[in-house]
């Protein structure tokens, strides 16, 4: 292997000494604190989920772009900026997250910054600024949107690492079930009560929508203070150049055949994210549905996430994450094809377009199942580097998202939607070749750090 990819003197070597990872969550804190941590993590995710419904990537955010811009390529930038934040910053900061004695402070800071971003977005729409200065508002929106997802990417890395540290593998599916089910109820309740007042055919109060999300994100940040986390102790030399972080991501894929297969599945799943901004465009523009449908699509999508979390969480805990991944990825694969089919089935089918968002609601579950699978595939000392590499694999196809938006304006929705449906279906077929790590020994992977 070329020296650039495997410079053992340049990449960090790991010396893991924290009892928190070697002994398991319950043994290092005790059963009572393990239960408290489980509850706090569930509350954190429930509050975040409630705030997240007001910025749904497949509905609310692209509707904002259509309001201030309307260009397909601008709408197509949203998934690219989203996935860049989810992938590159976590990869570059995975070492810092790993070296933190307590990961909860990374979760606290990033959640607080997410709140600040949304309060700034609310400010753009105060006093009609976005209407008077559409071009400037578009650039400001995209800039804050990018900053927000950089925070989200690091937040998800830290949160998932923290979950791997504090929650046993056989309870992570239960955490997924509790957080998504209760979170769906609270999110849908708030959306039904508030969005019905803030979205109508005459105006959409994006300032109130974003402001409310910002307040909930701030509340979620405060809950992190109640976590009880032991201190880790890692001794690692620093890599000299940022390129070594990407080189180490390559090493994870090259050296671990099980993760390599998962990376391919994750990359094919990532193509589905390019369609997120265009689902609402298909409904409002092509089907000529009314603006208040945005509220119902948001509600239905979150109900779908909550309902699917119940069986998926149970399957993941009892049988492993591989069968759970098979179930949810199939739903994501058929969603674009169903949307196109409904587009051509006349007035009756238009009434059922909302069902597409039930399938789209599977997407956050796929993310969590992929992350939980990765946690079991790697030993705890390698969780940050594996998770950041997973994020990079999911993000890889998203950088074609603006081009996909351009093709939609040029050739229409059908070509792009059906092509991506086929790619995700291919990824689903590849899940049958994955191994289930739950009952097998963890691969012996070199311990060099990212």
DSSP state, residue 204? B
Helices (H), 256-286: 257-270, 276-281
Residue with more model confidence, 81 or 20: 81
Share of the chain above pLDDT 70, in %: 85
Report whether 83 contacts 398 (CB < 8 A).
yes
Residue 425: its pLDDT value, please?
Answer: 95
DSSP state, residue 199? B
Domain that holds residue 101: 25-227+240-439
Residue 10 lies in a domain: no
Residue 233 lies in a domain: no
pLDDT band at 58 (very low <50, low <70, confident <90, very high): low
Residue with more model confidence, 398 or 427: 427
% helix, strand, coil for the chain, step of 5: 80, 0, 20
Share of the chain above pLDDT 90, in %: 23
Residue 217 lies in a domain: yes
Distance, CA of 41 to CA of 2 (rounded, Å)? 42
Residue 447 lies in a domain: no
Pick from 72-86, 270-284, 330-344: least confident: 72-86
Residue 12 lies in a domain: no
Residue 235 lies in a domain: no
Residue 7 lies in a domain: no
Q: How many domains does the chain have?
A: 1
Residue 391 lies in a domain: yes
Domain holding 359: CATH number? 1.20.1250.20
DSSP string, 1-47: --TTT--TTTSPPP-B--HHHHH-HHHHH-HHHHHHHHHHHHHHHHH
Residue 50: its pLDDT value, please?
Answer: 92
Distance, CA of 268 to CA of 422 (rounded, Å)? 10
Q: Cα dihedral angle (363, 369, 373, 378), rounded to 10 degrees?
A: 80
pLDDT digits over 380-420, tens only?
A: 778 878 888 898 898 888 778 777 777 877 877 788 899 99
pLDDT band at 13 (very low <50, low <70, confident <90, very high): very low
């Amino acid at each position: 292997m070329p020296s650039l990819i495997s410079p053992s003197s340049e990449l960090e070597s790991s010396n893991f000494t924290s009892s928190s990872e070697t002994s398991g969550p319950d043994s290092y804190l005790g059963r009572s604190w393990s239960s408290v941590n489980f509850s706090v993590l569930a509350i954190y995710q429930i509050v975040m989920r409630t705030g997240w419904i007001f910025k749904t990537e497949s509905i609310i955010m692209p509707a904002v772009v259509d309001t201030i811009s309307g260009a397909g390529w601008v709408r197509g930038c949203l998934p690219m900026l989203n996935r860049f934040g989810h992938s590159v910053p976590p990869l570059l900061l995975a070492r810092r997250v790993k070296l933190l004695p307590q990961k909860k402070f990374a979760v606290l800071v990033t959640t607080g910054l997410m709140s600040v971003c949304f309060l700034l977005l609310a400010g753009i729409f105060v006093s009609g600024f976005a209407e008077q200065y559409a071009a400037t508002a578009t650039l400001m929106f995209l800039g804050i949107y990018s900053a927000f997802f950089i925070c989200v990417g690091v937040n998800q890395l830290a949160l998932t690492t923290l979950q791997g540290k504090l929650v046993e593998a056989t309870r992570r599916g239960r955490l997924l079930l509790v957080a998504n089910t209760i979170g769906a109820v609270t999110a849908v309740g708030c959306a039904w009560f508030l969005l019905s007042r803030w979205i109508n055919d005459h105006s959409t109060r994006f300032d109130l929508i974003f402001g409310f999300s910002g307040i909930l994100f701030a509340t979620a940040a405060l809950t992190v203070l109640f976590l009880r986390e032991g201190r880790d102790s890692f001794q690692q030399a620093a890599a000299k150049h940022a390129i070594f972080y990407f080189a180490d991501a390559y090493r994870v894929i090259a050296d671990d055949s099980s993760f390599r297969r998962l990376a391919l599945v994750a990359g094919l799943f990532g193509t589905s994210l390019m369609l997120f901004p265009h689902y609402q465009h298909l409904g409002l523009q092509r089907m000529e549905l009314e603006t208040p449908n945005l509220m119902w699509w948001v509600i239905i999508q979150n109900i779908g996430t909550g309902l699917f979390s119940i069986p998926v969480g149970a399957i993941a805990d009892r049988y492993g994450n591989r069968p759970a991944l098979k179930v949810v990825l199939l739903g994501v694969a058929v969603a674009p094809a169903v949307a196109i089919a409904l587009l051509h089935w006349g007035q009756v089918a238009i009434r059922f377009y909302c069902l597409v968002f039930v399938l789209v609601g599977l997407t956050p579950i796929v993310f969590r199942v992929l992350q939980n699978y990765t946690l079991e595939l790697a030993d705890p000392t390698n969780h940050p580097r594996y998770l950041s590499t997973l994020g990079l694999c999911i993000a890889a196809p998203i950088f074609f998202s603006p081009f996909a938006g351009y093709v939609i304006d040029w050739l229409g929705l059908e070509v792009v939607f059906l092509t991506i449906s086929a790619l995700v279906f291919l990824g689903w077929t590849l899940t049958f070749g994955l191994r289930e790590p739950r009952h097998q020994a963890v691969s012996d992977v070199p311990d060099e750090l990212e």
